[in-house]
Amino acid sequence: MRCGRAGPRDRRGGCGKLGAMQDAPNTQDRLELQLDFILEIDRLKSVLRQTPLADGSRLENSAEHSWHLALMAVLLAEYADAPVDLLRVIKMILVHDLVEIDAGDTYCYDEQACRDKARRERAAADRIFRLLPAGQREEIRLLWEEFEQRLTPEARFANALDRLQPALLNFQTQGRAWRSHGVKLEQVRRRMAPIADASARLWGHVRTMLEEAADRGYLGR
């Protein structure tokens, strides 16, 4: 937030306070970087996903998706097979889709679009996380990497929720996105399979739900 982005900085001081930058340059610079980053990630609210809201009125955006996952983590952490650091899970969930500001939301069942997804998202991570001050830049980037690699209990649980949430919304909307893209039961089973690595209870629910979805015609067989 560079002086409200209204013009060049007064080199004698900060934004209207003579010498402010000279008195505490590190603190002021850090805050400005953080506020600029906060404004930048507001763009996530404009990234539409393929998944509709539960009431079917419109598509959700990626910021709404992340918020939904964070609350799911709070409510469903008791079903994680391994003990997890809930705060770390929530942090991962809140940053995992920030790369979509540049890379967009890649529909997981679009094989063509998924081919260069990793490259596009890594380039986005390089740009977006670099906006943060040192220290936080590394912390947020490592959280994003941890989520992608799924090597820790926290990352596996966060990923499980990331897969569960759109399945719940698709089931609630009679398979709206699944049907519009011609998605088959076996495709969704493969996509959901990593849930089993994090929670036997959630995986059992998902398996039953998918069978019922196919029986109702929400998914092709």
Percent share of the chain, pLDDT over 90: 86
DSSP string across 114-168: HTTHHHHHHHHHHHHHTTSPTTHHHHHHHHHHHHHHT-SHHHHHHHHHHHHHHHH
Predicted pLDDT at 28: 74
Burial 136-163 (b: 16+ CB within 10 A, else e): ebeebbebbebbbebebbbbbbbbbbbb
Give the contacts of 8 (CB within 8 A, at least 6 positions apart): none
Contact 1, 35 (CB under 8 A): yes
pLDDT for residue 43 is more than 60: yes
Predicted pLDDT at 125: 98
Instruction: Name the 3-class secondary structure at 34.
Output: helix
Contact 102, 120 (CB under 8 A): yes
pLDDT for residue 99 is more than 60: yes
Predicted pLDDT at 14: 40
Distance from C-alpha of 80 to C-alpha of 166, rounded to nearest angstrom: 19
Tens digit of pLDDT for each residue in 64-91? Answer: 999 999 999 999 999 999 999 999 999 9
By the 10 Å C-beta count (0-12 exposed, 13-18 middle, 19+ buried), 180 is classed as: exposed
| Average pLDDT score over residue span 137-157 | 98
Fold of 60-215: Hypothetical protein af1432 (1.10.3210)
Predicted pLDDT at 27: 74
Tokens of 23: 């008195």
Instruction: Name the 3-class secondary structure at 48.
Output: strand
Distance from C-alpha of 163 to C-alpha of 108, rounded to nearest angstrom: 10
pLDDT for residue 20 is more than 60: no
Contact 76, 205 (CB under 8 A): no
